[in-house]
Structure 1
Amino acid sequence: MVVLCGCGVTVSLMHTLVAPLLPEISHTMNLSQDAAAWLLTVTMLAGAVCAPVCGRLGDMVGKRRMLAVALAIMSVGSLLGALSWSFGSLLGARLLQGAAFGVLPLGISILKDELPEDRVMAGTATMSSTLGVGGAIGMPLAGVIAQALDWHAVFWAATAVSLLALALVLVFVPESPVRSGGRFDVLGALGLGAGLVTLLLAVSQGGAWGWGSPATIGLFAGSAVVLSLWAVHQLRVRQPLVDLRTSTRPVVLLTNTATVLVGVGMFASFMLTPLTLQASTATGHGFGVSVMVAGLCMVPMGLGMLFFSPLSAKLSARRGAHVTLLVGALVMVVGNVAQALRPGNIPLLMVVLMVLSIGTALCFSAMPTLIMAWVPATETASANSLNSLLRTIGTSTCAAVGGTFLAAYTIRVDGEVVPAAGGFSVTYWMAAAASLAAAGLALAVTAVIRRSARTTAEETDAVTTTADLAVQ
């Protein structure tokens, strides 16, 4: 469990370590801000495509094997980044690093197969929390290394960590005995990849291109057509990439929908808090601290997710994962409303971040538990991968819409146009609304589970009564 959680932290680090390096990389390579942002976008696109593929292959040929392959690809990408000589080579490096996005769902599925039943919830909760831990410590860690050396050193450090994670997996992680076998759906993988890339490109670039631009509308329309055709193919093929019949079971469908909303509710603070901390005090909402201090202020949010994950496991064990999801979503509502009301000082802001970390930890631990309880044992990796993919769609949507709000609400400070407080507040209100909607879906999950339990009890009573009559 320690090794797999370490892999989770490592992979989440890869998604955030470039963010504080973009200004230096832009200056060194003479890039525009929009061009440099592709170093984040391409990783997200690669992860979105590779996660379901790794999940399906993990169910078929072995989860540990695919975990090792994903970590090896990430190591190659990190090494290429350390040796990069141009923007193209660096873009390729980030593409390869994104291929490891499937590590988290694969790790959760291995824990489900290998841990004793009474430890599965705790393991799942801890593994899920690593996403927040890596995301919170990635920015300050990369900033420290880049200030002491240069941005290449960050990729050298990523290479060393990736290789260490790969070695530890090969030594300590057993291969899961649960496999589905069968043939890989190549056409389904290509269709899903095309649909996701067009969708996420439209979501991530819509603000820059214009939401009404032909490119954005065309990508949204193309994505809708491709994903519709892909869904038809998945329902017809004998061994689909994603079993849509399983995915449309009420609990699974409601949980996956809630995952998108939780991604929106969580990511608002990850995206906006560093900007608020670094904004000039002349804006009326900023604190004027350095990138380093802003990153350090985010660390408690990640650590809070790690520390509170055992609490979420205990709550799930006693009351059910659906209750944990409900409580977590409501806590996130409180945290986002507090953010919208703009905490007046950094200590208060860090308290609000801790509240959000508690809610996020509860939600992240509950969702995989709910998914794995309602899908066949041979499909846990692919089901968790789909859940992780939907979380990415949620965070990408939050980033795109939040960026649009920041661009719409601006003020001029010292001759420079900067985001105004209104853009931040509207984004946090959006995140609070998404969290509240997730709580509503959690209530619906609760109703479905209780109705299913009643039906099962009634059927059991009927069978018992029939048996008693037969005996008489």
Structure 2
Amino acid sequence: MTTPLQDHGLNPGPGHSPTLRRPRGGRGLVPALGLGAMVVSMMQTLLVPILGTIQRDLHASAADVSWLTTATLLSAAVCTPLLGRMGDQYGRRPVLLGVLAVTVAGSVLAALTDSLPLLIAGRVLQGASTAVFPLAQAVLRAELPARRLPAAMGTVSGTLAFGTGLALVGAGLLTRGDAPDYHRVLWLATAVSVLSLVAIAVYVPASSAASGGHTDWRGAAGLTVTLVLLLLPISRGTVWGWTSGWTLGCLAASGAAATIWVRVEQSMPDPLVDMRVLVRRPVFFANLAGLLLGFAMFSQFILVSALVQVPPSAGYGFGASALGASLQYLLPSSLVSLVAAQLAGTLVRRTGPRQTLAMGAVTGVVGFALLAAWHSSSAAVLGSGMLVGVAIAFGFAALPAVLLAAVPPEQTAVANGVNSVARSVGSAVASALVATLVATAGQGHPPAEPRFTTCFAIASAAFALIALFARFGMAATPGDHRHAGAPKAASKPGAGPVCPACPAC
């Protein structure tokens, strides 16, 4: 009889001693990787609360300034799978250091400039930081024994959620007053990135596994074209118009590019993304769940912030400032996520990642349903937001564990990278939906309250789908683990089983 851990790939199972995998990670490994994950979420949300300040200081239009978020999104989507694959091939430590060095360079460039094009260029470089999270998950798999993996994944995932709250609060505190200066926020990004770079250099072992092989540049180019053509109209739809020729043309071209990319990847001996792995049932549904998780997370961030800043004269809302919205309503949710991630790690170990993901998703359904039905008091919004924070933490902790059980070690980073891209797409869709349903009132008038209710209900439905995917979609089927074999497992003595999800390993 197997335990939940053995069923889900987080325990070597009968016949495998934990000592087969020799732990190399010291005590500082998990905090260092957690700090790196915090950089990821900070770069994604740091400038969102102060776009108005940047627009005023640079005398730019709202459409031009919105490229500061679009550029980072596109950069993250393009770089993450490629850098994840390079980490699997050439070693995670050097790629992690390279990614963080690029992030530091982008942060310094953005902090020093008063030019919008250079600021956008800096944000493009910062977007590469998104690759840190999948690389961190791959390092944990390579360096820690199975018994420590769930807790370590929970910690790293928790700091990913916490970074969003820290970014919001930091941006608010550093730009308060009569003469706010956005440069201070970018220097904060620089400081955190440098600290993370030093921590990775000190605590991540140089012996992280590398599978070798060549880089599939054709696949990388095809994926870049596909993602840019997909994300560009999603993120710019409110500016271009959802039925404009630019929007519809880009979406159609994205579909054509995706078809060509898949065919190219299937013909490659060492593809950027192994399609056979991507279409495995657990991986496929994990990526769909990642998309929905990104949608729900960004929906909470935008919707709650907008809701609480609506003046009470509109018949709802609390008239909070941007800083008040961050400190009072969003930071508590991030702190709860940090704590809940530790619980999620324990649950992954005891009950398995699918059950943990399902429990978190149900919590998210309840949280958003309460927000839809009852957002007339601060206590209700705060409490419901905390439930959503728990759900997000459970999702971040469980999805990497689902992928861990479904892919071989040499594809860990790229599999998590694709999942990160799915979350980015979900975030872009959430931003576009909210901009369409909530932020289009115009003329300085707040949107009608039912628009918030509708968006909260949609986010609740997203978590309901995640729960269904976890329950019925992510179960491994026969043949899912054919990548493992005895010769491969024996090729690296002392490294532990190649595929901890396979009983044969």
Asked if TM exceeds 0.5, the reply is yes
CA distance in 1, matches of 2:336, 2:478: 34
SS in 1 for 2:270: coil
For the 8 Å contact 2:371–2:384, the answer to whether it is kept is yes
Q: Provide, for residues 44-78 of structure 1, a one-character-per-residue CA deviation record: whole Å limited to 9, x for no partner.
A: 11011110011000000011111100100000001
Whichever residue aligns with residue 145 of structure 1, its letter is L
For the 8 Å contact 2:139–2:208, the answer to whether it is kept is no
2:447 is equivalent to residue 419 of structure 1: yes
SS in 1 for 2:365: helix
SS in 1 for 2:445: strand
Q: Per-residue deviation at 1:452?
A: 5.0
Which residue of structure 1 lines up, in the alignment, with residue 418 of structure 2?
386
SS in 1 for 2:140: helix
SS in 2 for 1:416: coil
For the 8 Å contact 1:261–1:434, the answer to whether it is kept is yes
For the 8 Å contact 1:52–1:386, the answer to whether it is kept is yes
Q: Which moved more, 1:426-435 or 1:183-192?
A: 426-435
Q: Per-residue deviation at 1:421?
A: 1.0
Q: Which moved more, 1:277-286 or 1:72-81?
A: 277-286
2:282 is equivalent to residue 251 of structure 1: yes
Gaps of 5+ in 1: 457-472
Q: Per-residue deviation at 1:130?
A: 2.1
Whichever residue aligns with residue 189 of structure 2, its letter is A
**In the alignment, which of 388, 399, 404 is matched to residue 367 of structure 1?**
399
Which residue of structure 2 lines up, in the alignment, with residue 269 of structure 1?
300
**In the alignment, which of 151, 160, 174 is matched to residue 145 of structure 1?**
174
Q: Which moved more, 1:58-67 or 1:5-14?
A: 5-14
Q: Per-residue deviation at 1:237?
A: 0.3
CA distance in 2, matches of 1:357, 1:440: 19
CA distance in 1, matches of 2:248, 2:199: 46
Q: Provide, for residues 86-122 of structure 1, a one-character-per-residue CA deviation record: whole Å limited to 9, x for no partner.
A: 1111111111111111001111111111112101011
Which residue of structure 1 lines up, in the alignment, with residue 248 of structure 2?
217
Whichever residue aligns with residue 452 of structure 2, its letter is F
Q: Provide, for residues 369-428 of structure 1, a one-character-per-residue CA deviation record: whole Å limited to 9, x for no partner.
A: 0001110111101111011110111111111112211256x4x8xx73322212111111
CA distance in 2, matches of 1:322, 1:34: 41
For the 8 Å contact 1:75–1:159, the answer to whether it is kept is yes
CA distance in 2, matches of 1:114, 1:237: 30
Whichever residue aligns with residue 370 of structure 1, its letter is V
2:39 is equivalent to residue 7 of structure 1: no
CA distance in 1, matches of 2:203, 2:160: 21
Which residue of structure 2 lines up, in the alignment, with residue 433 of structure 1?
461
CA distance in 1, matches of 2:389, 2:478: 32
2:369 is equivalent to residue 337 of structure 1: yes
Q: Provide, for residues 348-373 of structure 1, a one-character-per-residue CA deviation record: whole Å limited to 9, x for no partner.
A: 21111111111111111110000011
Report the TM-score, using the length of structure 2 for normalisation.
0.86
Which residue of structure 2 lines up, in the alignment, with residue 349 of structure 1?
381
CA distance in 1, matches of 2:87, 2:272: 11
Which residue of structure 1 lines up, in the alignment, with residue 115 of structure 2?
86
Q: Per-residue deviation at 1:435?
A: 1.2
**In the alignment, which of 192, 201, 204 is matched to residue 223 of structure 2?**
192
Q: Which moved more, 1:216-225 or 1:433-442?
A: 433-442
Q: Provide, for residues 294-336 of structure 1, a one-character-per-residue CA deviation record: whole Å limited to 9, x for no partner.
A: 1102111111111011211121112111111111111111111
List aligned pairs for 1:109-188, cutoff 5 A: 109-147=138-176, 150-188=181-219
Whichever residue aligns with residue 321 of structure 1, its letter is P
Which residue of structure 2 lines up, in the alignment, with residue 201 of structure 1?
232
Percent of pairs identical after alignment? 36
Going from structure 1 to structure 2, the CA distance change for 1:289 and 1:177 (only over 3 Å counts) comes to closer
Whichever residue aligns with residue 314 of structure 2, its letter is T
Q: Which moved more, 1:267-276 or 1:337-346?
A: 337-346
SS in 2 for 1:73: helix
Which residue of structure 1 lines up, in the alignment, with residue 6 of structure 2?
none
Q: Per-residue deviation at 1:277?
A: 1.4
Q: Provide, for residues 250-301 of structure 1, a one-character-per-residue CA deviation record: whole Å limited to 9, x for no partner.
A: 1111111121122222221111111111111112221101111111021111
List aligned pairs for 1:447-458, cutoff 5 A: 448-449=475-476
Which residue of structure 2 lines up, in the alignment, with residue 462 of structure 1?
none
For the 8 Å contact 1:285–1:342, the answer to whether it is kept is no
Whichever residue aligns with residue 411 of structure 2, its letter is E
Which residue of structure 2 lines up, in the alignment, with residue 24 of structure 1?
53
Q: Per-residue deviation at 1:445?
A: 3.3
Q: Provide, for residues 176-225 of structure 1, a one-character-per-residue CA deviation record: whole Å limited to 9, x for no partner.
A: 53222101001111110111011001111112222111000001011111
Which residue of structure 2 lines up, in the alignment, with residue 39 of structure 1?
68
CA distance in 1, matches of 2:414, 2:78: 12
CA distance in 2, matches of 1:342, 1:396: 26
Q: Which moved more, 1:123-132 or 1:359-368?
A: 123-132
Which structure features the higher share of helix residues?
1
Which residue of structure 2 lines up, in the alignment, with residue 107 of structure 1?
136
CA distance in 2, matches of 1:169, 1:7: 8
SS in 2 for 1:187: helix
CA distance in 1, matches of 2:439, 2:310: 15
For the 8 Å contact 1:132–1:301, the answer to whether it is kept is no
2:474 is equivalent to residue 442 of structure 1: no
Give the length in aligned residue pairs. 449
List aligned pairs for 1:45-64, cutoff 5 A: 45-64=74-93
**In the alignment, which of 335, 341, 346 is matched to residue 314 of structure 1?**
346
- Greater relative contact order: 1 or 2 (C-alpha under 8 angstroms, separation 6 or more)? 2
SS in 2 for 1:344: coil
Q: Per-residue deviation at 1:249?
A: 0.9
SS in 2 for 1:418: coil
For the 8 Å contact 2:93–2:208, the answer to whether it is kept is no
For the 8 Å contact 2:81–2:131, the answer to whether it is kept is yes
Which residue of structure 2 lines up, in the alignment, with residue 66 of structure 1?
95
Q: Provide, for residues 227-266 of structure 1, a one-character-per-residue CA deviation record: whole Å limited to 9, x for no partner.
A: 1100111111001011110111111111111211222222
For the 8 Å contact 2:39–2:129, the answer to whether it is kept is no
CA distance in 1, matches of 2:31, 2:157: 13
Q: Per-residue deviation at 1:85?
A: 2.6
